[in-house]
């Protein structure tokens, strides 16, 4: 289960001041892109849940000019504990985020 699924070929997605508190277990992640998500923005958001994968997953394809800024990403899954992941060739900025353990 994914809370926000971004289809392949969809660009210019902005998620701002998003609040998500997930139920225990059963969720793969919170935000996942099925392909490149050029100019993706995740700003000033709070995500807390029990995810078996990353809280935010942009690994499917390289994205250009992303910005992930000012977020709190909490994954309480003791086996995964992953916060954010992007494809190795993704460009942009990831700054001022908190991923407490």
Q: pLDDT tens, 72-85?
A: 999 998 787 789 99
* Higher local confidence (pLDDT), 42 or 1: 42
CB–CB of 7/36 below 8 Å? no
User: Has this prediction a pTM greater than 0.75?
Assistant: yes
Q: What would the pLDDT profile of 9-65 be if each residue is shown by its tens digit?
A: 999 999 999 999 987 777 899 999 999 999 999 999 999 999 999 999 999 999 999
DSSP letters, 28-58, are SEEEEESS--TT-EEES-EEEE-BSS-SEEE
> In the predicted model, is pLDDT for residue 2 greater than 70?
yes
Q: Choose among 55, 62, 61, 59: nearest CA to 84.
A: 55
């Amino acid at each position: 289960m994914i809370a926000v699924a971004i289809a392949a070929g969809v660009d210019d997605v902005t998620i701002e001041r998003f609040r998500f508190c997930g139920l225990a277990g059963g969720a793969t992640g919170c935000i996942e892109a099925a392909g490149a998500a050029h100019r993706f923005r995740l700003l000033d958001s709070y995500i807390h849940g029990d995810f078996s994968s990353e809280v935010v997953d942009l690994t499917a394809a390289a994205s250009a000019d992303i910005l992930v800024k000012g977020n709190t990403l909490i994954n309480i899954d003791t086996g995964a504990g992953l916060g954010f992941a992007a494809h190795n060739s993704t460009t942009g900025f990831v700054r001022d985020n908190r991923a407490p353990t």
